[in-house]
Structure 1
């Protein structure tokens, strides 16, 4: 059976349509990412409601529809807490569940939502294996990790880096990233050496880079610890002045990175899911998000806004994911089943490799586009 996000019945038009929003808003979750994701979700809800809500004769924008209501739950990057939140949200009668940034948490949300029969639109998690098997209930806006990280590997190859080190922590997400990089680099005479962040001090990481003659070090670790101390140590080691530091998971996108590292945090390439130029909708949303966040929005905030745009379109039409199409902040959004995907996927959002300009760390440079 094809799962649909059902529009409201006529006898329900006087009540709000509840959307369950799952975001990391406390440690050990990535709080700044959660704050950006929530800002995008909230702005999307405001815009949908200002345009008339969903359902009813005026649901497409002429008034008379039901307003959206966001029911927010903090996951704190805890899969069990997130799964319990899905149970609670379903009891509250949400029409769909949305959000999440951490991949291991999104997997737990997808499994629980699928089991309970509620649609889940994943905003920002990228792990390929988002579900335990094929499902029509789960869709995703963010690109699969294999797609984005292959683009990052292509950037490394184009920049001449074939001896790559990754400093990593135990995680299905980091392990998948290491595998993708190795598979992409190997046919081009590249190699990946793994350094255990739990066993090596930042100084020992520097010694290992020298020993392995690595030209690039990728941070596959948590932020701010141990990423920040490792960056500082590498930057201060005269033997490693030519070593590129990279962070494909996107840590340098956020203001906390720049605040903690200053000039040391510039010149660290990361993946960002934005187009080269925003269209009219994207530019308007960018301005509104800047006001809401008191600063530049990350791509995660745009993912939040696009999540609500997609859900509103689905609620208005009752269409399955395969027939949902909407203009988002970063382009036209439609869903398909790419080879190997068990969920409905936007294939693909724009992918960039970006860093903070060393001459102006508040400005981003696009180094590569996939």
Structure 2
């Protein structure tokens, strides 16, 4: 058997009869972060191929039914409804937090299992739900680790270039501010909607900030801000950071070259992969023709978890709302189990490994681990 992926977009069209179908939500076109979507889908496809090579689910092959969310919450919610109508066993994926939140809300309303692969926003659903689980660590967990790195590096005066209209960015700024304040740290917001790259530099110099965090989209305005800061002599000692992980992908290095090095970001990988992780990393590199990001591993682990559940619970959406509690799956980054966590309304893996890394200025193609949590 081989992995089957359908990306048809005609409503009601079904080319997967006889297969166990998993709906896959991924951002494949702009304004979605299409590079992240490509890695997420590559990981999911690889896992499907391996599941099918091992006999599928109770002798039935698995098929991904892929829908491009393009970072649009309404499009994602509609896709969940369509996929439920097609009879998928579960829905999985998504990278953008606000989009994942819309998908989770619709899955909860329809009683469709949804395993969120990458989105980190703490509040995926307004109320606790039995139908949604998540692999990625919650934003409050990962971003506190990032704040610890800032403190350890001696940074107390932090500026954030932010689009505050984004729930995700606003939530990140609040987490940083709350964690840094007891240690004497201050956070100054620079609203990019009212700023140019040059005025961001002026604010940094005027506030004597030692670090600038990019809580903005990539490539713009992130690329323009980085270039301006790097070229401003007043800011020679200012560290630039991107906790959301923009520098993880090759598009960052392609856009910025040496200017994109030494920009710490969060990555959800262990310092060393185990045998399964190493094998999957090799296969993903061949599939992507580049080094796999942590998002690709999240995609692989997502399908691995769902395949295990479908084998034990049945392929026709027969599990109960408490089925997530029975999961114990060997993933690429450790054993995955789900539990209930205070202030997080979904079933959560506590926790995927977290690193703060950057690109080595001496070799921007190499990543350096700066901090683990």
Q: Residue 89 of structure 1 is aligned with which of 80, 83, 90?
A: 83
1:361 aligns with 2:364: yes
Superposed displacement of residue 80, structure 1: 0.3
The aligned runs of 1:326-341 (5 Å cut-off) are 326-341=329-344
**Which deviations, in whole Å up to 9, do the C-alpha atoms of 1:49-103 show, x marking residues without a partner?**
1111112xxxxxxxxx211100000000000011111111111110000000000
Q: Aligned equivalents of 1:325 and 1:68: distance in 2?
A: 20
Task: Give the TM-score normalised by structure 2.
Answer: 0.93
**Which deviations, in whole Å up to 9, do the C-alpha atoms of 1:222-244 show, x marking residues without a partner?**
00010000000000000101000
1:130 aligns with 2:124: yes
1:294 aligns with 2:297: no
**Which deviations, in whole Å up to 9, do the C-alpha atoms of 1:191-243 show, x marking residues without a partner?**
00000111110000000001111000000000001000000000000010100
1:189 aligns with 2:192: no
CA RMSD between the two structures: 0.7
Superposed displacement of residue 341, structure 1: 1.3
Q: Give the ranges of 4+ consecutive aligned residues of structure 1 lying more than 3 Å apart after TM superposition.
A: none
1:265 aligns with 2:260: yes
Superposed displacement of residue 340, structure 1: 1.2
The aligned runs of 1:231-310 (5 Å cut-off) are 231-310=226-305
Superposed displacement of residue 350, structure 1: 0.2
Superposed displacement of residue 15, structure 1: 1.7
Give the unaligned 5+ runs of structure 1.
Answer: 1-13, 56-64
Partner of 2:349: 346
Q: Residue 147 of structure 1 is aligned with which of 138, 141, 145?
A: 141
1:120 aligns with 2:114: yes
Partner of 2:326: 323
- Matched pairs, number: 348
Q: Aligned equivalents of 1:172 and 1:141: distance in 2?
A: 20
Q: Aligned equivalents of 2:125 and 2:312: distance in 1?
A: 25
Superposed displacement of residue 338, structure 1: 1.4
SS class of match (2:364): strand
Q: Aligned equivalents of 2:77 and 2:250: distance in 1?
A: 30
Partner of 2:40: 37
SS class of match (2:22): strand
Q: Residue 174 of structure 1 is aligned with which of 169, 174, 180?
A: 169
Q: Aligned equivalents of 1:226 and 1:196: distance in 2?
A: 12
Q: Aligned equivalents of 2:142 and 2:192: distance in 1?
A: 23
Task: Give the TM-score normalised by structure 1.
Answer: 0.93
Q: Aligned equivalents of 2:50 and 2:337: distance in 1?
A: 20
SS class of match (2:343): coil
The aligned runs of 1:69-108 (5 Å cut-off) are 69-108=63-102
Q: Residue 220 of structure 1 is aligned with which of 204, 215, 220?
A: 215
